[in-house]
Amino acid sequence: MQLAAPILFCIERHSPVNYIKEFTMPKLTVEGYGTFEVAKGKRLVLALAEEAGVDQLYACGGNCRCTTCRVEFVAGEPQQITQAEKDKLADKGLAGVCLSCRIQMNNDMHVRAVSRLEGSGRADAGSKPDAAIKPDPVWVAKT
């Protein structure tokens, strides 16, 4: 009788539904570019540049200082945000956009690339962001 709870936990944890949810690759749709499979947990800013081929700006190298990595969400916007992103968007008075360097691909997302090298007048997109979100993320509710 005492083993029932752990056994039920293991059965649920390793069910095909949970396995599929945990290990399938999220899809990134970028208007005008297409739909791409992306490794779960990958930074959105890198997925835009590497999988979707967007000339996405990331002037500060993905360190939540510049806001050039901003995107508009059509669907799949995460309900959690890093405190750093929340503070930066408030500082800049930006609404209706998200900072792709603060977002991990943990679900399907559909975005518009609204901050690209083309037309920016910049010499390059910036220093390529690291694989991990920096500074270390502190997750808070979006609202």
Site for ligand FES contains 103 (CB under 6 A): no
Tell me if 115 sits within 8 A of 71, measured CB to CB: yes
DSSP letter assigned to residue 58: -
Site string for ligand FES, 33-72 (x = CB under 6 A): -------------------------xxx-x-xxxxxx---
Q: How far is the CB of 124 from ligand FES (least distance, A)?
A: 13
DSSP letter assigned to residue 102: G
Q: Provide the pairing of β-strand 27-30 with 109-113.
A: parallel
Tell me if 41 sits within 8 A of 109, measured CB to CB: no
List strand residue ranges (DSSP E) for the chain, in order: 27-30, 34-37, 70-75, 80-82, 98-99, 109-113, 139-141
Q: How far is the CB of 22 from ligand FES (least distance, A)?
A: 27
Site for ligand FES contains 84 (CB under 6 A): no
State the Cα–Cα distance between residues 34 and 51, nearest whole angstrom.
Answer: 10
Query: Which CB atom, from 3 or from 95, has the smaller least distance to ligand FES?
Result: 95
Site for ligand FES contains 115 (CB under 6 A): no
Query: Which CB atom, from 14 or from 65, has the smaller least distance to ligand FES?
Result: 65
Length of the chain: 143
Site for ligand FES contains 101 (CB under 6 A): yes
Q: Which residues in this chain contact ligand FES in the complex, by CB under 6 A?
A: 58-60, 62, 64-69, 99, 101
